[in-house]
Amino acid sequence: MQQGWTFPWLCALLLGLMMGLLVSGSEFKHHRYEDMVRALFAVQSECPYITRIYSIGRSVEGRHLYVLEFSDNPGIHEALEPEFKYVGNMHGNEVLGRELLIKFSQFLCEEYRAGNQRITRLIYDTRIHILPSMNPDGYEVAARQGPEFNGYLVGRGNAREIDLNRNFPDLNALMYYYEKTNGRNHHLPLPDNWEQQVEPETLAVIKWMQNYNFVLSANLHGGAVVANYPFDKSRDPRIRGRTTYAATADDKIFRKLARTYSYAHSWMHKGWNCGDFFDEGITNGASWYSLSKGMQDFNYLYTNCFEITLELSCDKFPPASALPREWLGNREALVSYLEQVHHGIKGMVYDENNNPISKAEISVAGINHDVTSGVDGDYFRLLLPGTYTVTASAPGYLPSTSTVTVGPAEAIQFHFYLKTAPKQNLKVKPHNGRKNLSSPKSPLKLGPR
């Protein structure tokens, strides 16, 4: 009897194992660190020509902070192709973002291989960077308790129990100071010794931002269901029981970005979630509660990147059985938000000899926040549909101003050509028998808090 069913049973077992290998990348489960790494490398193996895995650094306990990149030319920035990033699991015990980004990576690979034109075009026209876990050490602490017993704070911080979303240099204070003195409105300087003031994970992400000219980003959290946009830190001193809306110069575009995710999400836009109500499923961060040294404000004030924070689940550590529903609820929103990186205006900044100019400032009349061109001379400026007066300027060149009309579809491409400024013979008046070598006052420096 036993011999009669052994061979068919063995065949069925082998077939099941083979099928399991084929679909293992798509199953819904919680991924410990080693499982996450295997899942990412499995995607890279399945789609080797459009993906690359790289590490931006290590956690306190030495775990790599792996990023999975999607592009038609992995590892290369192509001029006029915007850089986009998703970051998950910044708080170790807020795990849904981690699982969604692993699944999203598998989804991009699978849909590309299936010939999905929407996904293929995104991969060809965008350089997509996915960091599923910014805090792998905190995750391991939370995962040891599991979904059933996980506390509200257990595993939230890194291995030193530091909240990484309160760990970035406080550029808001400097920005609010500059607002009163008509000071710089973008790429604000970092405080002295900032590298010694942040955690290894924070340091790795800041270096990452310095190495890539990101245009748009989202940071995936849990504990509520709402799309949260800058500023997170209030301009006013904290008063118990009072919240104050802290708008950026790009408040309208941030509201639109937040609504894009909320309305593409299956239930976020309905407003009532987790016992809270947020109109249209969006909120200004400071209007909700004031937060200092957060990552989304830092993106806006230090780089060209616009970032929002996505709170995606009432339960910080939902059971694995809830993951399929959460994926279906977020899948379209993840794609739709990514597509927003292709709106506004983009172009090159050249000199008279068609050489690209890096770090040229692109300013828009009426919006007091500038962006800069990248190393290759390309710039990206997210804008709502409308007509704008746009100026490109760079040291040693005459500024160039043009009127540009932005439509509701893809970004309008507009190039600037800057002429070399005529040299001026400036005479330095002597002062007390010596040349005046005094320099302008340096920007306000922020020490450790």
Q: What are phi and psi of 418, to 5 degrees?
A: -100, 135
Entry field: residues in the chain: 449
Question: Please, is 76 exposed, middle or buried when counting C-beta atoms within 10 Å of its C-beta (0-12, 13-18, 19+)?
Answer: exposed
Question: For residues 396 and 382, is the Cβ–Cβ distance under 8 A?
Answer: no
pLDDT at 21: 38
pTM of the predicted structure, to 2 decimals: 0.88
> Which residue shows structure tokens 């190039």?
415
Query: What are the tens digits of pLDDT across the range 120-173?
Result: 999 999 999 999 999 999 999 999 987 766 667 899 999 999 999 999 999 999
Q: Which residues contact 331 (CB under 8 A, 6 or more apart)?
A: 104, 107
Q: What are 361-393's pLDDT values in tens digits?
A: 999 999 999 999 999 999 999 999 999 999 999
Q: Do the Cβ atoms of 89 and 33 come closer than 8 Å?
A: no
Structural element, H or E, at residue 368: strand 367-372
Question: Coil, helix or strand for 29?
Answer: coil
Name the strand (E) or helix (H) holding 5: helix 2-23
- Please report the sign of the dihedral spanned by the C-alpha atoms of residue 97, residue 102, residue 103, residue 109: positive
Which pLDDT tens digit goes with each residue over 432-446? 433 333 333 334 333
- CATH class of the 33-342 domain in this structure: alpha beta
Torsion of CA 364, 370, 374, 379, to 10 degrees: -20
* Type of residue at 418: L
Point out the residues of the chain with pLDDT beneath 70.
Answer: 1-26, 148-151, 238-241, 425-449
Kindly list the distances between the CA atom of residue 431 and the CA atoms of 206, 207, 427, 437, in Å, as whole numbers in the listed order: 43, 43, 13, 9
What is the 3-state secondary structure of 319-347? CHHHHHHHHHHHHHHHHHHHHHHHCCEEE
User: Domain extents for the chain?
Assistant: 33-342, 344-420
Question: Which pLDDT does position 145 carry in this prediction?
Answer: 85
- Residues serving a catalytic function are 311
* CATH class, 344-420 region: mainly beta
HSE-CB of 347 using CA atoms within 13 angstroms: 18
pLDDT for 419 equals 97
